[in-house]
Structure 1
């Protein structure tokens, strides 16, 4: 089992590493071709999409990943189709809403109103690829997962390079590259779902309530996570300007290498853990595996921090070097986030999403308070402090809750 997990971690790690190479390779390119203020607008657009995603997509990929282990073949196909229909209706509703409030949001957030109008489309383009990937992950088909992901990655890099470097379209070129790749992978994803027989017969809508229950219960959790992901940059933009957002975002992107490992391990560990929990395997074995992964995360974070001078010397343009001040605190935050991922799986399996929602939303409120207080006292580095502290609190509360829940399930 450990060998299989290690093999899957290697494949997911390689794929996610390759995917992360696009923003990582693009980082020295973007920092040369895009001004800090434009980089800030680009990042603010990304954070708006992060905020909109749980509201529009309703976490259908998470619901599908859990129901894969609970539903029969035909029922699972119906479930996937129901999920697609729910997100399509949600997309149309948000198109109308954002058309009405586009100018207000543009002034509030600091991005052009034309981009505000495109936010629902950018968000919806993610749904097909996320569903295909989560099915490959749940069915433990990492090679197919890898091929699909690498296709999107190569298109992303190719289009971004053409639009940003060759055509000189700046941050708009980067946006065109990212979502041109999502559009291409959506077309391929529809073909994959068709071959899975998802669309072959009229399907029942009986799973729609289940999808909404799962997704709506997770909205506070997701919004809490998104508030944490975007509040830092919104506070910086409001108090210090979009140029400072650009510096902070570069450090954030560099520190995200920790999140790369956390995500890769979780993609391999999640399905395995679900199988172990379903069979009620030995609790001691599960606990030891979880501890081993956590120790590995800590070691990796230490190595990355030790290499921080080299990362900023060779990968970041000189005009962005002051971003290194924020790097260590953000890296620590990503470490706690990776540890947090290990324990959210338990709550997902036992469908305790309401508990997770309360914890996450409470953490988001804490993050807003910390951002407000610390940015005024310490400036941008205060926001980095806030990120690390909040993710530490998330990790502690979710880990304690998951362990109590697990002991109760095993009668310990």
Structure 2
């Protein structure tokens, strides 16, 4: 036991921190995934749609009421104001309170009109505003603790909230008739209660809600990025809101379940990118960026194969995780999951844009793709139903990927740097093959046996070539 403790103490703090957060994230996502079948069976599709609409609007209002100040400028502020972190956090909470008060002044006199847009009663809009304010306080506290390597407290609060929220939601759903709203209260209630504690703690430590210097810095940094943040939320949430208004909350629930399942690998994408970026930036700094050609292709293939597994077994995943009432949603999974691979392509190009601090064009590309998504939804959802929203997302991500590809090459050209980091032809061929394979899986949805046989053949080929993938991953980690 002492030997184990000694080895544990010898592990570098940065490794402990990153490992703890990774495990915490996986457990958090896992709990969310595990409880999904429970609630999709307890709630009707219309009731589940109420929860879907609430979370969608919450994501959009979060941008306006907080300016994403718990993200965006936060990291740089923690470095810039290292000795005044508590004061900065308290001032940010003051901004959130001010913006929320402005929204209430606009909302309350015309709440009946707003409620028709939100498809929620007044009490739940007020609950949403409260959750946004107090969950932001928790996020700010966690962000500061991450910078100070106080990872144990962050992990404890994250896991405790992730466990208690579904338990409370389950109790409420089982005891009241309005089950959709009960689930909202279960999740939002815990976020508010925990957030109130950290809100008070942050203010107590920081003393003041207003600080001219900090407010000026925060507004100056994040306001120009609002269009980008909002466009990303529109990508993720507008489909469900528009489906709810056009074809009903039941269809919004169908789409929401399929979308969440199709995007289940997002945390893996983020984990891969988190390890890959430091390696890539090191290679660029050392003028060895050409080594990225092979590594990026292998990562794309790995990500593509995982996404294909989700697409090929969508019927079984949907039935197991959501029940037969959601079977109609299986045809949404393929285009949305393909969008995830496109998002990975986008990230490859965005990494280069960020390295050279070129963000302006990123905003233009993301806003353009988001607007296209909304326009296509308005035209195609009434004509083809909620499944069309999956394909509008796919088309919009194609545009977003192309815009980032163009921007990245423009950045390199502007700086007169060699464009030798990616094998564009190979990336295109892989995506075309991936797309064909994905739609082949859709045509085989009626035959599980055929899908299993093909999967086993592909798996056998991967085992034979496993050393190539292991060596590539080892090179990234070894940087």
User: Normalised by the size of structure 1, how large is the TM-score?
Assistant: 0.84
Greater mean deviation of Cα atoms: 380-389 or 137-146: 137-146
Measure the CA separation in 2 of the matches of 1:393 and 1:298.
19
1:211 partnered with 2:218: yes
1:47 partnered with 2:56: yes
Within-5 A mapping of 1:4-43: 11-43=20-52
Measure the CA separation in 2 of the matches of 1:246 and 1:151.
27
Contact preservation (8 Å) 2:172, 2:182: yes
1:284 partnered with 2:268: no
Gap change, CA 1:203 and 1:106, over 3 Å in 2:
closer
Unaligned runs of 5+ in 2: 1-11, 419-479
What residue number does 2:374 align with?
368
Deviation by residue 1:220-275 (Cα, 9 ceiling, x = unmatched): 112212222232123322322221112111111212212232344456667x5899
Within-5 A mapping of 1:259-298: 259-266=266-273, 272=278, 280=285, 282=287, 284=289, 287=292, 293-298=299-304
Measure the CA separation in 1 of the matches of 2:13 and 2:413.
26
What's the RMSD between the two structures over aligned residues?
3.6
How far is the alpha carbon of 1:56 from its aligned partner?
0.8
Greater mean deviation of Cα atoms: 390-399 or 172-181: 390-399
Higher relative contact order (CA 8 A, sep 6+): 1
What residue number does 1:355 align with?
361
Greater mean deviation of Cα atoms: 314-323 or 20-29: 20-29
1:397 partnered with 2:403: yes
Measure the CA separation in 1 of the matches of 2:25 and 2:318.
21
Measure the CA separation in 1 of the matches of 2:288 and 2:199.
40
What residue number does 2:240 align with?
233
2:68 to 39, 55, 59: 59
2:130 to 121, 127, 148: 121
Contact preservation (8 Å) 1:5, 1:269: no
Measure the CA separation in 1 of the matches of 2:393 and 2:77.
34
1:314 partnered with 2:333: no
Contact preservation (8 Å) 2:173, 2:179: yes
Gap change, CA 1:349 and 1:27, over 3 Å in 2:
same
Gap change, CA 1:70 and 1:228, over 3 Å in 2:
same
Within-5 A mapping of 1:239-258: 239-258=246-265
Measure the CA separation in 2 of the matches of 1:166 and 1:92.
34
How far is the alpha carbon of 1:6 from its aligned partner?
9.1
The residue matched to 1:30 in structure 2 has which SS?
helix
Contact preservation (8 Å) 1:61, 1:130: yes
Greater mean deviation of Cα atoms: 315-324 or 353-362: 353-362
Unaligned runs of 5+ in 1: none
What residue number does 2:106 align with?
97
How far is the alpha carbon of 1:81 from its aligned partner?
3.2
What residue number does 2:159 align with?
150
Deviation by residue 1:204-228 (Cα, 9 ceiling, x = unmatched): 5313222112221121112212222
Greater mean deviation of Cα atoms: 30-39 or 280-289: 280-289
Deviation by residue 1:166-188 (Cα, 9 ceiling, x = unmatched): 55551122111211221243245
Contact preservation (8 Å) 1:13, 1:260: no
Contact preservation (8 Å) 2:329, 2:387: no
Measure the CA separation in 2 of the matches of 1:91 and 1:153.
26
1:302 partnered with 2:311: no
Contact preservation (8 Å) 1:237, 1:244: yes
Deviation by residue 1:87-144 (Cα, 9 ceiling, x = unmatched): 2211222222221232102123322233223332122122122223334555666655
User: Normalised by the size of structure 2, how large is the TM-score?
Assistant: 0.73
Contact preservation (8 Å) 1:217, 1:354: no
The residue matched to 1:28 in structure 2 has which SS?
helix
Deviation by residue 1:27-67 (Cα, 9 ceiling, x = unmatched): 21222221111211221111111111111111112234441
Measure the CA separation in 1 of the matches of 2:156 and 2:372.
40
Contact preservation (8 Å) 1:78, 1:205: no
1:224 partnered with 2:231: yes
Greater mean deviation of Cα atoms: 22-31 or 139-148: 139-148
Q: Which has the larger radius of gyration?
A: 2
Measure the CA separation in 2 of the matches of 1:276 and 1:65.
24
How far is the alpha carbon of 1:281 from its aligned partner?
5.4
Gap change, CA 1:108 and 1:69, over 3 Å in 2:
closer
Contact preservation (8 Å) 2:258, 2:318: no
